[in-house]
């Protein structure tokens, strides 16, 4: 898991990238077992036949019991998403919201999902739509008790696609993403940043900002960055350009005085860096 997580980032939206199915099995079992202990309804959304997944889950006694009692279900990816098409982000968030409310009505404390989502991001159009959806559902998770582990097979998608997906989750095991941009609240006018913003991630940062479609309040977008370890002048320039194109201002709140000094030196319109403690 990416290091440097703050309490505000740990709300249960994980990008898990794998090239060994056994490693995914272990991670999924841990994630689902934690949800079982929390009293949540559990889904495993399988990209293939359900039977092999059920057999693997049944190797963990607590999950075997949950399958028998119906608190854990193995659900088909085709029944949850339209796998041959481009995801409709708002509609998919509404579907998960309805499932979460149904779980609450049934006496559970929320809904927790492991989704093997690789078939949903194979084409450029699918990837673009799904990364936008990832940030939308991230906002929803800030408001309601829905948690998800989004699993992607590194053997089937390239490193750039992995980075584009991983950088829009608050938590990930992927080394391809140098930073994470994620929801700080449900409204979307504040976002969080962790990791490092440098030359290597400049293009990725621009793409992430566009896909997140962040929404300012009263003409200002706030980026909370207590876990941002480094930011260079390129990232600050990109933030200033982003603010100018969208006709609002950006406030970057970071614990690093160097970032504030650099922003003051560059005198970037629309961008303020505030040093936090």
C-alpha–C-alpha distance, residues 142 and 112, integer Å: 14
What is the reported pLDDT for 136? 95
Give the per-residue pLDDT at 188: 81
* Count of CA atoms in the C-beta half-sphere (13 A) of 82: 9
What's the pLDDT score for residue 10? 58
Sign of CA dihedral 172, 178, 181, 184: positive
pLDDT value for 2: 46
* DSSP collapsed to 3 states, the chain: CCCCCCHHHCCCEEEEEECCHHHHHHHHHHHHHHHHHCCCEEEEEECCCHHHHHHHHCCCHHHHHHHHHCCEEEEEHHHHCCCCCCCCHHHHHHHHHHHHHHHHHCCCCCEEEEEECHHHCCCHHHHHHHHHHHHHHHHHHHHCCEEEEEEEECCCCCHHHHHHHHCCCCEECCCCCCEEEEECCCCCCEEEEEEEECHHHHHHHHHHHHHHCCCCECCEEEEEEEEEEEECHHHHHHHHHHHHHHCCEEEEEECCHHHHHHHHHHCCCCEEEEECC
pLDDT at 5: 40
Is the pTM of the predicted complex or chain greater than 0.85?
yes
Residues of the chain with pLDDT under 50: 1-9
């Amino acid at each position: 898991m990416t290091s440097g997580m703050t309490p505000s980032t740990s709300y249960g939206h994980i990008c898990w990238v794998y090239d060994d199915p056994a490693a995914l099995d272990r991670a999924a079992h841990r994630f689902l077992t934690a949800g079982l202990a929390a009293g949540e309804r559990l889904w495993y959304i399988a990209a293939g036949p359900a039977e092999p997944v059920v057999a693997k889950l049944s190797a963990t006694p607590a999950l075997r019991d949950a399958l028998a009692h119906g608190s854990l279900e193995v659900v088909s990816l085709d029944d949850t998403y339209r796998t041959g098409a481009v995801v409709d982000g708002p509609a998919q968030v509404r579907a998960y919201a309805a499932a979460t409310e149904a779980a609450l009505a049934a006496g559970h404390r929320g809904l927790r999902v492991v989704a093997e989502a690789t078939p949903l991001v194979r084409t450029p159009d699918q990837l673009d739509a799904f990364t936008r959806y990832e940030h939308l559902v991230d906002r929803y998770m800030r408001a309601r008790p829905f948690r998800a582990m989004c699993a992607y097979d590194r053997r089937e998608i390239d490193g750039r696609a992995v980075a584009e997906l991983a950088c829009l989750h608050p938590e990930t095991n992927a080394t391809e993403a140098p930073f994470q941009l994620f929801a700080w609240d449900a409204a979307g006018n504040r976002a969080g940043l962790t990791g490092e913003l440098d030359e290597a991630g400049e293009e990725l940062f621009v793409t992430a900002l566009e896909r997140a479609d962040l929404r300012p309040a009263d003409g200002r977008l706030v980026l909370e960055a207590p876990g941002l370890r480094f930011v260079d002048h390129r990232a600050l320039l990109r933030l200033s350009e982003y603010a100018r194109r969208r006709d609002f201002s950006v406030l970057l709140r970071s614990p690093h005085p160097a970032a504030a000094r650099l922003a003051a030196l560059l005198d970037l319109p629309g961008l303020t860096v505030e040093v936090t403690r």
